[in-house]
Amino acid sequence: MPSVLTSVPSPVSSPVSSLRCRECSRTYEAGPTYTCEWCFGPLEAVYDYEAVAATVSRERIAAGPASIWRYAGLLPTTRVPALDLGAGFTPLVRADRLAAELGLGELWIKDDTRNPTNSFKDRVVAVALSKAAELGFRTVACASTGNLANSVAAHAAHAGLNSFVFVPADLEAGKTVTTAVYGGNLVAVEGNYDDVNRLCAELAGEHPWAFVNVNLRPYYAEGSKTLAFETAEQLGWTAPDHVVVPVASGSLLTKIAKGFDELGRVGLLDGEPAVRISGAQAQGCSPVAAAFAEGGDTIRPVKPSTIAKSLAIGNPADGWYALDVVRRSGGALAAVTDDEIVEGIRLLARTEGIFAETAGGVTIATLARLAATGVVRRDERVVAYVTGHGLKTLDGIAPRVGPSATIAPTIDAFHRAYSTHILEARP
């Protein structure tokens, strides 16, 4: 079968030749591996920043593709821009009306609903599948809370790779249909995400498959850095003062921090990045926010129960690292209720015309909470990451949103409805 991946020559040597253990710093060859054999710590991609600094520039980035691949020099694969469905380079929208409601000053929304499969997962998947092809895999797989499933299925279809996607059986229809349509194998597992993930870790030991968030996790995770790269570029190569990031496994949050840090290291930023990083969770699955509130270091696993299913990871792989990043940056973590999540979705839609999924509701509700408590300040330049589209999670809010009135097709019926209960002017 022809593959768009194999037909593209490698333009540069990989900026990543090794992986390093985040705990004991032992290094490994950059293959399909993710834990340290010595201490079982997670492995992370290592870059030669001096070499990167010598080759990247603002001009070269500006001349690159309108996707994550404009930052190829800081991504861990040579297959650039081989697998490009158009992930990334999403709008950064100035949100003055929302800022006014929250009592904030300069607020921006990074609108990552506008990706090929409508979530930020397209960033991590484009990187992971490019790496999978580079390493010679023919079959890709993942454990997913929904959005990753969509993205792996779509990118695998585009690349001519086989796919096996594992999800909890109780997923929203908006996420199963939008995965199955791409024609790969979709396996619904009777259990929650943590069960699915455990199963996939076992399968990864048995099958020669590239599990994007298991044995390719060190590469996959790097794709999230592009949210920091784009934010800085869109703000004229400056870093914001404070960002609010949704937390599931915690990977996204830690990689946004790493992204700003790397821009500083390779000389692409005006000034030093000093970004406060705050994390957002749903109360029904908030192990990292709970540890923050207690002031402790232990992340205690929970059984998730929330409408924010894309964030429902009860035992977050990068939870401790996310907690550490938040604390050291001077940010905070908060957890919001399902009612607040729905209100957050409606608030963003009503003020800015952006329809977010439940995870976006978590972010906006957390931003509102942190603004009200003075953690996010009026004098800060703030960016909130809205990571998925509302059409995928209609089940979560449908009971709360509907027509203002249902009427017979007559003028009288409209007037009656108008005078009784509808159509008050916008505030």
Ligand X SMILES: *Cc1c(COP(=O)(O)O)cnc(C)c1O
As a whole number of angstroms, the distance between CA 153 and CA 141 comes to 9
What minimum distance in Å lies between the beta carbon of 245 and ligand X? 8
Decide which of Zn ion, ligand X, none touches 156; Cβ closer than 5 to 8 Å per partner kind: none
Residue 248 interacts with ligand X (CB under 6 A)?
Answer: yes
| Listed ranges 19-27, 204-212, 227-235, 264-272: which one lies at the site for Zn ion (CB under 5 A) | 19-27
To the nearest whole angstrom, how small is the minimum distance from the Cβ of residue 119 to ligand X?
5
Question: What φ, ψ does residue 35 adopt, rounded to 5°?
Answer: -125, 150
Residue 247 is a binding residue for ligand X (CB under 6 A): yes
Of 129, 29, 43, 125, the C-alpha closest to 79 is: 129
Q: At what angle do helices 147-159 and 173-180 cross, to 10 degrees?
A: 10
Instruction: Tell me, by CB under 6 A, how many residues bind ligand X.
Output: 16
**Residue 124 CB, nearest distance to ligand X (Å)?**
8
Long-range contacts of 15-18 (CB under 8 A, 24+ apart): 15/47, 15/48, 15/51, 15/52, 15/73, 15/74, 15/75, 15/76, 16/45, 16/46, 16/47, 16/76, 16/77, 16/219, 17/46, 18/46
For the chain, the residue count is: 427
Interface residue with Zn ion among 38, 274, 298, 394 (CB under 5 A) is: 38
Identity of the residue, 40 or 418, whose beta carbon is nearer to Zn ion in the bound complex: 40
Inter-residue contact 152 to 129 (CB < 8 Å): yes
Contact 316, 287 (CB under 8 A): yes
Residue 279 touches ligand X, criterion: CB under 6 A:
no
Binding of ligand X by 178 (CB under 6 A): no
Q: Does residue 423 interact with Zn ion by CB under 5 A?
A: no
Residue 173 CA, distance from chain mean position: 20
Q: Do the strands 242-246 and 381-386 form a parallel or antiparallel pair, or are they unpaired?
A: parallel
Binding mask 327-366 for ligand X (x = CB under 6 A): ------------------------------x-x-------
Asked whether position 418 contacts Zn ion by CB under 5 A, the answer is: no
Q: What is the DSSP letter of 10?
A: P
d(CA 289, CA 66): 35
225 or 268: whose CB is closer to ligand X?
225
Residue 23 contact partner, candidates Zn ion, ligand X, none, CB within 5 to 8 A by sort of partner: Zn ion
Q: Shortest Cβ distance from residue 379 to ligand X (Å)?
A: 28
Q: Which stretch binds ligand X (CB under 6 A): 244-252, 268-276, 286-294, 366-374?
A: 244-252
User: Which range binds ligand X by CB under 6 A, 162-170, 226-234, 245-253, 290-298?
Assistant: 245-253
The distance of closest approach from Cβ of residue 42 to Zn ion in the complex, given in angstroms and rounded to an integer, is: 9
Q: Based on the shown chain and the rule CB under 5 A, indicate whether residue 39 belongs to the binding site for Zn ion.
A: yes
Among 67, 78, 119, 329, binds ligand X (CB under 6 A): 119
Tokens 């998925």 identify what position? 388
Tokens 């293959």 correspond to what residue?
31
The reply on whether position 249 binds ligand X by CB under 6 A is yes
**Nearest distance in Å: CB 66, ligand X:** 22
**Do the bridges between strand 106-111 and strand 92-94 make them parallel or antiparallel, or are there none, so unpaired?**
antiparallel
Largest CA distance in the chain: 77
Q: How far is the CB of 415 from ligand X (least distance, A)?
A: 43
Give residues in contact with Zn ion (CB under 5 A). 21, 23-24, 36, 38-39, 41
Give residues in contact with ligand X (CB under 6 A). 119, 121, 147, 246-252, 310-311, 357, 359, 387-388
